[in-house]
Amino acid sequence: IAGITQAPTSQILAAGRRMTLRCTQDMRHNAMYWYRQDLGLGLRLIHYSNTAGTTGKGEVPDGYSVSRANTDDFPLTLASAVPSQTSVYFCASRGQHTDTQYFGPGTRLTVL
């Protein structure tokens, strides 16, 4: 593993189903983030975690939950998917003493 990986690459999901997007980093970064990208809206922060064991809400947290059991993993869960959650989801991480975030390749999610 090098950097940040996300899984799955893409997914089509029926509305009402539960889905977990996975994110793993091997850079030992303390801070991790989940963004969604929608056409014409740029990147919007869903949830973040400054360190293992802590999480916080971003700009658009409704319908999503996260956990941070360890430094490397930061899964994003949609408890009951809705069509408005159709988007491309990016995970990012940031090391200490820097403001630069590094992004994973993204997960394209379609909720029908």
Which residues would be at the binding site for other proteins (CB under 8 A)?
Answer: 4, 31, 33, 35, 40-45, 48, 50, 56, 58, 90, 92, 94, 99-106
| Closer CB to other proteins, 72 or 90, in the complex | 90
Cα–Cα distance, 50 to 107 (Å, whole number)? 22
Q: How far is the CB of 4 from other proteins (least distance, A)?
A: 8
Residue 19 or 92 having the CB closest to other proteins? 92
